[in-house]
């Protein structure tokens, strides 16, 4: 039992939005953590399976996040190969971050469920932190968020809550064989979210909707890679078609408390100064 406890937990994408939070929480519990990304030594790259074997040596469990998203072509096959290699290396405990409402992500979930591993799946939708740590932050800082026309509502989920759930899944065997769908506390449109941020910051942040075609042209004008443009448009057209317009209780089921409210998230970020306009 001592060897298992002292074996490191491997966190793929350990510098990302949920990964770094999982690392912080595991270390706070005294766990030995191995962070894996393209910038670590040894490095880990989902596009280069030659980097996978070394990073798996001696670990007891793995938190799996796939970049850029489980929806992209080839993701399911990569997950299958990685899971097979992990099991062959002696790893038993696998926790996967999956995408809410994504058919391709659900195919990846089935890979874990049929693998024979001790698995847990955490299925999440849009992160609140997309407004403060990702592609929507530039618009907030500029005071003008532009997005495709979206009439549906989304239960934005906080990355802190996701990390708390993941750590419990990694540390407590009661979560083996469970799928938890995690959401925020209430449904909001993107316009609602931007308004909450505007109030928290104490300044006017405009929100403008454009057609999907116009939005794609804006992304192309930024010279983003074609695969990132495809993924962004997929998320805004397919995933935001209303399929996720409901709440789930995965956070409360695991943590015994309600999820962090978006208003609280916005107030915390505003108080941190992350959204302050440059002087």
**What DSSP line would sit under 191-232, residue for residue?**
HHHHHHHHHHHTS--EEEEE-HHHHHHHHHHTT--HHHHHHH
- Report whether 251 contacts 259 (CB < 8 A): yes
Query: Distance between the two ends of the chain, CA-based, in angstroms?
Result: 55
Tens of pLDDT, residues 108-134: 999 999 999 999 999 999 999 999 999
Residue 262: predicted pLDDT? 98
pLDDT digits (tens, 9 = 90+) for 207-255: 999 999 999 999 999 999 999 999 999 999 899 999 999 999 999 999 9
Distance of CA 61 to the CA centre of its chain: 18
At 149 the pLDDT is 87
Please give the backbone phi and psi of residue 167, each rounded to the nearest 5 degrees, phi first. Answer: -65, -40
Distance CA 198, CA 15 (A): 28
Q: What is the pLDDT of residues 161-201, one digit of tens each?
A: 999 999 999 999 999 999 999 999 999 999 999 999 999 99
- Tell me which residue has tokens 């997005």: 147
The residue behind tokens 């530039």 is 138
Three-state DSSP string of 8-76: CEEEECCCCCCHHHHHHHHHHCCCCEEEECCCCCCCCECCEHHHHHHHHCCCCEEEECCCCCCCCCCHH
At residue 151, the pLDDT reads 87
Q: How far apart are CA 137 and CA 90, in angstroms?
A: 41
pLDDT of residue 138: 95
Task: Report the CATH architecture of 2-125+158-183+246-259.
Answer: 3-Layer(aba) Sandwich (3.40)
Contacts of 225 (CB under 8 A, 6+ apart): none
d(CA 117, CA 97): 15
For a pLDDT cut of 70, what percent of the chain falls above it?
97
Say what the pTM is.
Answer: 0.95
pLDDT band at 279 (very low <50, low <70, confident <90, very high): very low
Mean pLDDT of the chain: 95
């Amino acid at each position: 039992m001592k060897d298992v406890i002292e074996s490191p937990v491997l966190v793929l994408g350990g510098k990302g939005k949920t990964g770094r939070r999982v690392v912080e929480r595991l270390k706070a519990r005294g766990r030995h953590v191995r962070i894996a990304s393209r910038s670590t030594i040894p490095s880990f790259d989902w596009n280069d399976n030659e980097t996978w074997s070394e990073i798996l040596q001696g670990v007891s469990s793995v938190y799996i996040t796939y970049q850029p998203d489980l929806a992209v072509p080839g993701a399911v096959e990569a997950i299958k190969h990685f899971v097979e290699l992990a099991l062959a290396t002696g790893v038993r405990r696998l926790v996967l971050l999956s995408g809410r409402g994504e058919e391709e992500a659900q195919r990846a979930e089935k890979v874990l469920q049929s693998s024979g591993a001790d698995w847990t799946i955490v299925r999440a939708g849009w992160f609140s932190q997309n407004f403060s740590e990702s592609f929507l932050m530039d618009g907030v800082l500029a005071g003008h968020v532009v997005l495709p026309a979206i009439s549906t509502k989304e239960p934005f989920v906080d990355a802190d809550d996701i990390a708390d759930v993941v750590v419990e899944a990694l540390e407590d065997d009661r979560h083996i064989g469970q799928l938890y769908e995690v959401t925020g506390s209430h449904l909001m449109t993107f316009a609602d979210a931007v308004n909450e941020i505007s109030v928290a910051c104490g300044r006017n942040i405009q929100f403008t909707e454009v057609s999907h075609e116009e939005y794609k042209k804006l992304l192309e004008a930024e010279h983003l890679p074609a695969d990132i443009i495809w993924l962004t448009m997929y998320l805004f057209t397919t995933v935001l078609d209303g399929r996720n317009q409901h709440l789930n209780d995965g956070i409360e089921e695991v943590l015994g408390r309600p999820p962090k409210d978006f208003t609280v998230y916005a107030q915390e970020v505003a108080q941190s100064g992350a959204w302050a306009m440059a002087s």
